[in-house]
Amino acid sequence: MPVDHKRINGPEETVPYSLFTKLNTKSLQQQFKEQVRDEKRSDNRLLLEHRKIFIKTGLVSQAKGSAYIEQGKTKVIVSVFDPREIPNRTDYSLKGEIYCEFKFATFSCTKRRLHQQDTEEKQYSALMKQALDSTVCRHEFPNFQVDIYAFVLHNDGSALSAAITAAGVALAHAGVPMYDLIVSATLGIQQNIKLLDPSVTEQWLCEMPVPLDGKVGNQGVIVMSMLQSHEQISQFYQVGNLSLEDITDSIKILENACKELIPLIQKHLVKHVLKTMKNKSEDK
Amino acid sequence: MMSSVRKAIVSNCEKKFLIKNLAEWTRLDGRAFDEFREIQIEFGKDWGCCYVSLGKTKVLAQVSCEIQQPKSSRPSEGILNINIELNPIAAPHFEAGRQSDLSVQLNRLLEKCLKDSKAVDLESLCIKMNEKVWALRLDINVLNHEGNILDCASIAALAALAHFRRPDVTSDGEEFIIHSYKQRDPIPLVIQHYPVCITYSIFNGGEFILADPMLLEENVADAFFIDWIECIQGTLWFTPWRVDVILNTTNKAASRAETVVQLIKEAIEQDNERRLEKVELGFHKAVEAKPVENSIGDLSICIDQWSVKHKKSKKKKNKLTEGEEKIIKEISETVQVTEIEALGVGSAALVPQDSEDGNRWQASDSENDDDDVMVVDIPKPVIETVDILDTGSEEEIVVILNADKKTKKEEKENKTMIDTILT
Amino acid sequence: MEKPQLSCKLGILSRPDGSAMFCEGETTVIAGIYGPVEVKMQKVINDKASVECSYRPKSGLPGIEDRLYESLIRNICETSLMASLYPRSAILITLQEMHDSGQLISCAINAACLACLQSGIDMKFMFGAVTCFLTKEEVISLMPPISKSDVKALFVFVFDNAAGRIIASHTEGSFSEEQYKEALNLGREESKNVFIFFKKTLVGINSC
Amino acid sequence: MKRGLFFNIDKSVRLQQINIISCVTMKELRDEPPICLPGQRLCLSDKIYTSGQGTYERRGYIYSQLAGYVDIVERDGVKVVEVHTSGEQTVVPTQGDIVTAQVYIITQQHCKCFIKCVGDAVLRRPFRAILRREDIRATEKDKADIYKSFRPGDIILARVLPITEAHTYQLSTAENELGVVIAHSEHGHPMVPISWTEMQCSKTYIKECRKVAKVVPENVDQETLKKRKKSE
Amino acid sequence: MNLMCILYSVVPTYQPAQKSQNKVRLSQVKVFDNNFKRRNMAEEYKSLHPIKYYRDCLAHDIRPDGRAFDKFRPVLLNIGSIDTTDGSAIAKVGKTTIVCGIKAELCKPKADTPNQGFVVPNLELPPLCSPKFRPGPPSDQAQVLTQLIADIIENSKCVDPKDLCIYPDKLAWCLFIDFVCLNYDGSLIDACIIALVGALHTLTLPSVDYDPSLDNKLVNLEDRKPIPIHSTLISTTFVIFDDKIILADPTVDEENYCTGIVTIVLKGDELCCVHKPGGSPITEDDLFDCIDKSKLRSPLIQNLIKTALKQK
């Protein structure tokens, strides 16, 4: 580990204790079979069943807008700040910029993460930006930048979609003009079994080829973000090997999943609007 | 990058005054051209802690050690790290905790002087091959910058290394026991030879050569000539000037180095004696002994010397010219220039000193800058955005780039796609 | 009660506007102050000078414990200096450890005060720091115990010379309220000696 | 419950278009404003209804940009559909806005300030702005001196000038109602205006020069100010 | 208990009862100019002259959030809700939210302390929690607070590094205690210490079989044991306003505009940190008054922690 002068450093070399547990001799195939049995998953969900989502706004009082999402055990918090001048920019841009930062807490995953952003986090930041760029009315704040920070407290799979969904709610909460509400969902595919909203183990198993009877089937993870009322896809990200049919099917599944999420978000935002309006009239 | 904020600018007036004075064989502080400022070496209570002043330039050096695994390329050698810090106390434009060109340059020169010349016997620092060696760390803090940091720092570094003692280590076969200073007498380092840096500044393309430049002289000088004597000699930074002048100067530097090393050795001996006598040591003792310094007094001394030294230096100058010829004949035997190197961008020395850029070391700017550029790969997005301008609003519709996917999507999202096409 | 010998030398460095080498027992610190000088754009304060502090240990890599000392000393100097007289400028305080035998923080604070005094920057009051030690035998003293492991707790108090109020308190280790009170009173008494020493130093009668 | 209407009707994702025209009279609209969310279709965009603040137009419809409530303002015979957030607005100063700013640097040519409020909205993050010497007053522009008009720390009311390629906002106080509203004397006491070029310290009675804003009576708020400017 | 409940629920105990009488009214605020008599004048006044706004409020013996000077904000604690950690807690003091997660890893002890493990605390102030932080390396403030927390842990000896040694000179535990601020609204240290105590109490480490001759390690995940916690720490922060008024449990604005800050950490009946980093001088009486107030608060917080632990 490189020495960080601005933090307290531990000993030079540390290893996670999970490396020294009783050897896990199960093959990937067995592990996967344990996860999915008789059309049921280890947490008793159906294959295409989304985990329960809780969403709350206004958690970060210091931010302009914020949202906290719990999707199963996955917990993500997103905050949005007022537009500010873009640092170190000299040219004029007609459209505002979106700055996204996606970060896992050091303790959010099984393996400890570093304080600095790693490549995965940087990629997720870029994907978030991509999803939100076309959602926000950027022409409303030319030459300014809106900062969006997503922080994962606990990663149990599908953290990126949770972050994008929460970011959409946080933006609406912050009063940043948007073309539409945005929701996102994740789908894992392994051996032609599709798992909606995979948990962290499922996601891990879907990300690598697991041979079944010596053959390697289609496998991968898809993250898709949708704008609800215009029925547009604002971001699509896929890893793994998938056939064309798989992708079309997956898009259908994900589209439905997104549509199911929308009422929840709408309900929450309407509640929020009603509440603030009530407070306002009381103040007067 | 060192910020230019708070940096003193040398005015043309000052420059001209300096050069004019030199033409009359006078230096601003009344020294002769080849006269060095007074050296003072004090040791702290800790081993390897040394406080050196060269005139008003002051430097603190401290050596520390710990046990480390050796580098795989040198499994039986200890490690010596040198780190020079331009403490913001030394000058207002120095910044804490930030590497500037000057500090990098000084660090490199000191490393050349002490490490590359193998002044310290690193092999004696090995405890167990491939596993445990002593890693020495030499921290040099510049406390007051009145010119010629390098000489001062090199003296402090050498004195600190020569003064330092490491704890004794014994082995009982398997385990190593590190004895505290109280349990067993600590062991001094093996110093193979004593290299010190001697700096001359050169004016008017070699017309005037000044030993131990002070701050203003340093800022105005055309070039520098630095020797590190004892093992290797290196020279650098010069505008085209005559070989005989180089050799002459090198020669003078050699004799100067001898005196300096002698001084260091004496200082250490004195300190050792006092330690043996169990006299209380440390900086606090030195503070008590001396009266409060008076800065006004200083100035008057300076003025006094002004008139007196004037003639002296002229005499000296004559002597030098006489001596020059002799020395040239002797050079080949006494002095060997093994390495002539222009550090940084050599050509930088040719550029006349800019008044705003009083700092000679910035010559290497252009080279270092490249390191700062980072190439970032941005993952290619799978999605392309198409602006639909018809509605007047700046709306964007997203279409999947991949043609196959697009058709699939069209089937699925028949309605929307048709919508898009219609508009 | 035995107490550490104070000694000091003002103006030991030629570049800074004020400088001092201060010794408290064997502990020695050099302080230098520049000010008011040009301030960097991002640190400009409109109605007063920005006070910056940097502390250098004599060896080893810079770490975050230095930041804690820096913020402590910076805050103390900021309250004491009349920063509002020098708006849109900077006052830089730099400290260099020379030797540490226990009272490093108080020594650094006292050195900073002397450097401020020498620099001629207006001050509201002087500040003086005292270190008290609580030994394993529950005895409070001003002298550092011979071995570091004998220290149960360490207190650093900073007082003003105007009303003897507490400007700063820094503690290490754990202790009872009574012990804290006792150390505080001891510190206040000793701080008077520190101020006398400051005054003597300034008038040049260094007879302590 | 009218409010519930447009979001319980159809569970299949899409919020139904709110037909503001037919179901709500203007009075009802004000009393019980319909709630909308970003991307919600509000009504047809035609000759009567046009898209205003907080909305956008797409393929003949007006959609909402914000989570908030709908408001319809009649302007020159056209009904402008606006959406306002229920919480704090996200405001960026635009051309013509009256802003409250604090002066922090003055030079011979210009003074630099921080915009702290835009109209009534208090900003969480101030924006930087610049006020040039020639924009201090409307008449005898060349005679204005920065140091006789503003001092660091003054609170001024100013109008935002057209936005140029430059990165900071440009302000103007070249109107009677604009200029210094709060200032402190050299000794730090509040000052009261005594003429349009002078203010007097409330403690020391020392007079200092300022470009003083004419105090607007309480009942005249920002909107009227804005309107007046437009009619001119 | 759902994690969200704790994160979201702000139980403003002081508000409902006092709202009507105590909420700062515009009429109480001294008005400088007619231009300010507008709808959200208080807000505007606060933004333009924050210090004067505070002075005016405090002159009426009330804080802008309606609290009396010596009243604390409600505290919430939730423990063990993040199961990727070996011990975790979330503490909320008013709106300030701190998540503390402890992750243990194996390492080799230092040569000069062969029978000690490591405790590595770090406080992260991400840009997420307040507009004043920017992405990048930790700010000076984060560094100072991290060091202060590290000092408090070391001074109080609540975790003994000796308990973390598995096999001398060969194998030991390294506890990475990471604090993340999710909402920055003052009294950070107080929230951090509550979260720390909560997280330490939920911390369990698996047992390790170590064979020194072969350097073989075997970790039994099923056999998890808590580590001894030697003391319970309670921290209380005060700020000094205008050299005379002392406010307990400050919000972020109060911290920004105050002239001095005092943090007192209690360890049982003992004190383990009285930290006043400069700022306006205070009298001894005032300082001991603060210590007394924190002593009164200590059993309440201890009870809170106990209750939270029982719920588990």
Give residue-wise pLDDT tens across range A53-98. Answer: 999 998 899 999 999 999 999 999 999 998 888 877 777 778 889 9
Which residues fall within 8 angstroms of residue B59, CB to CB, at 6 or more apart?
B51, B52, B53, B140, B141, B142, B143, B149, B152, B153, B155, B156
Average pLDDT, chain C: 90
What single letter denotes the amino acid at residue E30? K
Q: CA–CA separation, C88 vs C97, rounded Å? A: 30
**How close, in Å, is residue A37 to chain E by CA atoms?**
24
Enter the tokens of residue C55: 């502390």
**Contact yes or no for D68/D84 (Cβ under 8 A):** yes
| Mean pLDDT score, B361-366 | 33
Which H or E run contains C120? Answer: none
Give the pLDDT score at B242: 64
Query: Which member of E32, E34, E47 has the closest CB to residue D190?
Result: E32
Q: pLDDT tens-digit profile of B75-113?
A: 888 999 999 999 899 988 888 877 888 889 899 888 888
Give the residue, B170 or C183, on which the prediction is more confident. C183
Q: CB B423 to CB D56 under 8 A?
A: no
Average pLDDT, chain B: 68
Which residues of E lie closer than 8 Å to D, measured between beta carbons?
A: 32-35, 37-40, 43-44, 46-49, 131
Q: CB D92 to CB A280 under 8 A?
A: no
Domain A28-283 has CATH 3.30.365.10: no
> B136 - beta bridge partners?
B65, B80
| Lowest pLDDT segment from B282-296, C150-164, E145-159, E243-257 | B282-296
Please tell me whether the peptide bond between B195 and the residue prior to it is cis, using omega within 30 degrees of 0.
no
Identify all chain A residues contacting E101, using CB atoms and an 8 Å cutoff: 105-108
Q: CA–CA separation, B124 vs B77, rounded Å? A: 7
Q: CA–CA separation, D7 vs B94, rounded Å? A: 64
Q: CB E147 to CB C64 under 8 A?
A: yes
Cα D127 to Cα D87, D111, D175, distances in angstroms: 20, 14, 22
Chains in contact with D, where contact means 3 or more Cβ–Cβ distances below 8 Å, are A, B, C, E
Give the residue, C208 or B38, on which the prediction is more confident. B38
**Contact yes or no for A172/A89 (Cβ under 8 A):** no
C137: pLDDT strictly greater than 50: yes
**Contact yes or no for A132/A150 (Cβ under 8 A):** no
Best mutation target among C46, C84, C85 (most D Cβ atoms within 10 Å) is: C46
Q: CB B144 to CB C14 under 8 A?
A: yes
Q: pLDDT tens-digit profile of C22-34?
A: 999 889 999 999 9
Cα E5 to Cα A55, A173, D80, E2, distances in angstroms: 11, 19, 41, 5
Q: CA–CA separation, A46 vs A40, rounded Å? A: 5
What single letter denotes the amino acid at residue E142? A
Best mutation target among C8, C13, C103, C117 (most B Cβ atoms within 10 Å) is: C13
N residues, chain E: 312
**How close, in Å, is residue B180 to chain E by CA atoms?**
11
| Mean pLDDT score, A36-53 | 88
**Contact yes or no for E66/E23 (Cβ under 8 A):** yes
- The 3-state DSSP class for residue C128 equals strand
Give the residue, C101 or C158, on which the prediction is more confident. C158
Give the residue, C115 or D25, on which the prediction is more confident. C115
Q: pLDDT tens-digit profile of D49-68?
A: 888 888 999 888 899 999 98
Identify all chain C residues contacting B139, using CB atoms and an 8 Å cutoff: 58-60
Q: pLDDT tens-digit profile of B377-389?
A: 333 333 333 333 3
ipTM field: 0.81
* Domain coordinates in residue numbering, chain A: 28-283
Residue E295 lies in a domain: no
In degrees rounded to 5, what are phi and psi of residue B50?
A: -140, 135
Percent of chain A with pLDDT over 90: 52
Identify all chain A residues contacting D93, using CB atoms and an 8 Å cutoff: none
Q: Does C46 touch chain B (CB under 8 A)?
A: no
**How close, in Å, is residue B40 to chain C by CA atoms?**
13
Best mutation target among D91, D92, D125 (most A Cβ atoms within 10 Å) is: D92
Residue E7 lies in a domain: no
b/e map of D104-136 (b: 16 or more CB within 10 Å)? bebeeebbbbbbbbbbbbbbbebbebbbbbebb
Which residues fall within 8 angstroms of residue A132, CB to CB, at 6 or more apart?
A98, A100, A148, A164, A167, A168, A171, A182, A234
| Lowest pLDDT segment from B62-66, C192-196, D115-119, E32-36 | E32-36
Report how many Cβ contacts below 8 Å link chain C to chain D.
6
| Mean pLDDT score, A251-280 | 89
Give the residue, E9 or A67, on which the prediction is more confident. A67
Give me the domains of chain D, ranges plus CATH numbers.
2-85 (2.40.50.100), 98-215 (2.40.50.140)
C111: pLDDT strictly greater than 90: yes
Enter the tokens of residue D145: 């001196």
Identify all chain B residues contacting A251, using CB atoms and an 8 Å cutoff: 408-409, 412
Identify all chain E residues contacting A22, using CB atoms and an 8 Å cutoff: 218, 220
Residues of chain B with CATH 3.30.230.70: 12-372
**How close, in Å, is residue D179 to chain E by CA atoms?**
12
**Contact yes or no for B222/B202 (Cβ under 8 A):** yes
**How close, in Å, is residue B390 to chain D by CA atoms?**
8
Best mutation target among A89, A93, A97, A180 (most D Cβ atoms within 10 Å) is: A180
Dihedral angle of Cα E273, E278, E284, E285, to the nearest 10 degrees = -90
> A182 - beta bridge partners?
A227
Give the pLDDT score at E29: 34
Give the pLDDT score at B358: 35
pLDDT band at D226 (very low <50, low <70, confident <90, very high): low
Please tell me whether the peptide bond between C36 and the residue prior to it is cis, using omega within 30 degrees of 0.
yes
Identify all chain D residues contacting C84, using CB atoms and an 8 Å cutoff: none
Enter the tokens of residue A161: 């979609």
| Mean pLDDT score, D3-30 | 42
pLDDT band at B393 (very low <50, low <70, confident <90, very high): very low
Identify all chain B residues contacting C5, using CB atoms and an 8 Å cutoff: 284
Percent of chain E with pLDDT over 70: 87
Report how many Cβ contacts below 8 Å link chain B to chain D.
12
The superfamily in CATH containing domain C6-203 is GHMP Kinase, N-terminal domain (3.30.230.70)
Enter the tokens of residue A33: 């079979």
**Contact yes or no for D211/D138 (Cβ under 8 A):** no
Identify all chain E residues contacting B178, using CB atoms and an 8 Å cutoff: 111-112
Which H or E run contains A234? Answer: strand A232-241
Contacting A residues, span 70-99, partner chain D, CB-CB under 8 Å: 81-85, 89-90, 92
N residues, chain B: 423
> B83 - beta bridge partners?
B139
Chains in contact with E, where contact means 3 or more Cβ–Cβ distances below 8 Å, are A, B, C, D
Q: Nearest residue on chain A to C62, judged by CA atoms?
A: A5
- Full domain range(s) for residue E138: 81-226
Q: pLDDT tens-digit profile of B341-356?
A: 332 322 222 222 233 3
Q: Nearest residue on chain C to A6, judged by CA atoms?
A: C64
Give the pLDDT score at C122: 92
> E175 - beta bridge partners?
E104, E119
Q: What's the CATH code of the domain at E219?
A: 3.30.230.70
Give the pLDDT score at A121: 95
Contacting B residues, span 122-161, partner chain C, CB-CB under 8 Å: 137, 139, 141, 143-146
Strands (DSSP E) along E125-188, which ranges? 165-167, 171-183
Query: Which member of A15, A62, A70 has the closest CB to residue E4?
Result: A70
| Mean pLDDT score, A262-279 | 87
- The 3-state DSSP class for residue E288 equals helix
Q: CB E37 to CB D221 under 8 A?
A: no
Widest pairwise Cα distance in chain B: 102
Enter the tokens of residue A43: 């947490």
Q: Which of A167, A143, A57, A152 is nearest to A103 (CA)?
A: A152
For the beta carbon of residue B69, count every other beta carbon within 10 angstroms. Answer: 14
C206: pLDDT strictly greater than 70: no
Q: pLDDT tens-digit profile of A96-137?
A: 899 999 999 999 998 999 999 999 999 999 999 999 999 999
Identify all chain E residues contacting D117, using CB atoms and an 8 Å cutoff: 44, 47-48
Strand order in the sheet with D55-58: D41-44, D61-64, D55-58
CATH class in words for B12-372: alpha beta
Q: CA–CA separation, C135 vs C152, rounded Å? A: 5
Q: Which of E282, E120, B186 is nearest to C160 (CA)?
A: E282
